[in-house]
Structure 1
């Protein structure tokens, strides 16, 4: 009997954790991971990434060879170009211009989304990832005024982190509604608004931007920004477009697997509706309106369901929360503020975050061992 092969298409946060869980017990599966990046380049904590990249990279930019569980996984560095579902194989364009095919018994689609300048699908080397981090940080450091456009967690995190990192800058946060963080419990915005105001961020509700062409949304721009809601144009040395204009990285998939917006249609078991041997997880999976499997540790469920599927056993189901929860602005000098689904906050002290949570809970507990860089 041959060893079942599981191909994990996309090794971002969700795909990598799924592969980590599948790697035990050793030898049960032949696991192949496909990634356009040379390591985990997380989409988390954008504000920290832009303002303190040297600290961000210690936890959120990690080459694959540092993950102990991935010693049992073969990583293919390239871009997915096609899926042949009938013959169960995917095609991958390699950096040298050649193409290879990878057969599978089970396929995990975890290719994520394109979102702004910080989540892009193109193939990159270690040097290119580092250059992107430096360039974005230097761009903001040189600006006297920063305008953050958007009302989600990424926008709020950027505004607060820029204001606390560079107190002399003019920082404006513009969002279309009466409040930001509309996908969180209302209590969350009440707490975060006070923190933004205390840091000197100018809050400008009721500002709906006239968006530039799509390419301009994928880089840090310049002002002025014009508003469809009637306000005067706003000048700025640097404009962060964090408007949630996400695009699923699914051009390589057939239409039968996708919904009308291009996300992968899945059942509560995280299996695709059309092909039970194909699963999806993370921001690319249309599990619920918030596509929350990426933020609610569905990787455990997915790994268990893959084992159950191959063993002919019943599969578990994913239950999405009604609102987003967790950290909003990331680690600050006074620790990490985390919000429960009810909107109530609790705080982890700074020493605990960097000495216990990241090295112990995250690296050893969640990722099952990460070698020092």
Structure 2
């Protein structure tokens, strides 16, 4: 099962949040190659902060790969995945010059995530293109006098709250299809967040299910129609955060996928019938919430990969039954993180700057992160 050399070769296909964490875990015991369409970690987290405070978002959620100390021994390939030969154990990727290369593997980790709106796309991008994309959407919303946010998940709720707090003079409305938003969270979470939204001036509109236009993957300005019978609503900008995700699995054979196109996995995060092939994150069909993307399953996966290479038993991943974590992201007064039971754990602002980010996140979770350059200095 092992290519030439004393250490196994692991290819991590996709270096988003889950892929980077997995690569960091495996960098010492294996020769790791990571393939990414982006020039660094461009996280899909915290859409509200990304749109309203792009400088703050880029500091923590857009990190060039050479800033991660733990990836110093990892070779990164900047390209889009085009296919895999499961028998020959090779992955194929195409770079910006339209040249296709192959990467052999002993272990393949599929971590290509999902497409969702304009903030999660698998397009090949340079650092300049990532920066331009980030600033274009920010300026579009900054220029709008009124904004409709469509959706009932955390991305929509966070966007409405952060837009309202950054631009208190704007008219911000949140429309969602149920009687409450955040239905994947404990009901206590919405009780708390709905009060914060109202205090920030966000107008809440429950029981509004939008008729989806031909294209809702970007900010639009046409009136929104409702299948639930209410009159149309309009604003200068309409932000669609409806959670309509599609897995980035076009490069994979159909035999690996379930009916919705996600990668089938066993409880051990292994792809059935293919030794040495694993999947993690939003692309992996672990459970209805695909929760391995948010529950630090990278540690379990790295352990299982080492166990499989050594012929030891693998451990099963136990998914969470509810969504948990931060909803609004870090605010000037601090951060609230919700447990699966709906309790809020509060971190004051000073602890985020002095403890949470430098010690727990950058040093603990990411194993050391060099200082990021300011957003206006991100260049190829």
Q: Which residue of 2 aligns with 1:7?
A: 11
Q: Which runs of 4+ in 1 moved over 3 A?
A: none
| CA shift digits 1:165-185 (9 cap, x unpaired) | 000101010000100000000
1:16 and 2:20 matched: yes
Identify the residue that residue 329 of structure 2 maps to in structure 1: 330
CA distance in 2, matches of 1:157, 1:354: 21
State the match for 1:80 in structure 2.
81
1:274 to partner: Cα distance:
2.6
SS in 2 for 1:217: coil
**Could you list the runs of 5+ residues in structure 2 that have no partner in the other structure?**
373-380
Cα deviation digits, residues 199-248 of structure 1 (max 9, x gap): 110000010000012xx222111131110111111011111100010000
Structure 2: distance between partners of 1:339 and 1:259: 31
Q: CA RMSD in A?
A: 0.8
State the partner residue of 2:355. 356
Cα distance in structure 2, aligned partners of 1:343 and 1:285: 26
Q: Which residue of 2 aligns with 1:317?
A: 316
Query: Could you tell me how far apart the structure 2 residues matched to 1:307 and 1:217 are?
Result: 42
TM-score normalised by structure 1 residue count: 0.97
For residues 303 and 92 of structure 2, what CA distance do their matches in structure 1 show?
26
Quick one: distance in 2 between partners of 1:339 and 1:38?
Answer: 32
Match for residue 288 of structure 1?
Answer: 287
Partners of 2:179 and 2:258 lie apart in 1 by: 31
Residues 180-329 of structure 1 aligned to structure 2 (within 5 Å): 180-213=181-214, 216-329=215-328
1:365 aligns with 2:359: no
Q: Which residue of 1 aligns with 2:375?
A: none
Partner of residue 377, structure 2: none
Shift of 1:116: 0.3
How far, CA to CA, are the matches of 2:136 and 2:163 in structure 1? 15
Cα offset for 1:333?
1.9
Counterpart position of 2:173: 172
**Contact 1:257/1:274, CA 8 A, preserved across alignment:** no
Cα distance in 2 for residues equivalent to 1:349 and 1:57:
21
- The number of residues matched between the two structures is 368
Q: How does 1:133-148 map to 2 (within 5 A)?
A: 133-148=134-149
- CA drift at 1:30: 1.3
For 1:121 and 1:63, the matched residues in 2 are separated by 17
Residue 164 of structure 1: SS of its match in structure 2? helix
Shift of 1:275: 1.1
Aligned partner of residue 191 in structure 2, secondary structure: helix
Distance 2:334 2:195 in 1: 16
Deviation at 1:94, TM superposition (A): 0.9
Contact 1:256 1:274 in 2 (8 A): no
User: Is the Cα contact below 8 Å between 1:117 and 1:217 reproduced in 2?
Assistant: no
2:160 counterpart residue number? 159
Instruction: Supply the distance in 1 between the matched residues of 2:60 and 2:226 (Cα, whole angstroms).
Output: 37
Deviation of residue 273 (structure 1)?
1.2
Which structure 2 residues correspond to residues 107-146 of structure 1 after superposition, within 5 A? 107-146=108-147
Deviation at 1:344, TM superposition (A): 1.0
TM-score under structure 2 normalisation? 0.96
> Aligned with 2:144: secondary structure?
coil
Shift of the alpha carbon at 1:355? 2.2
Deviation at 1:334, TM superposition (A): 1.5
**Structure 1: segments with no counterpart, 5+ residues:** none
Give 2:376's aligned residue. none
3-state SS, counterpart of residue 135 of structure 1 = helix
Distance 2:58 2:275 in 1: 37
Return the alpha-carbon distance in structure 1 between the equivalents of residues 153 and 64 of structure 2.
29
Separation (CA, whole Å) in 1 of partners of 2:154 and 2:138: 19
| Paired position in structure 2 for 1:346 | 345
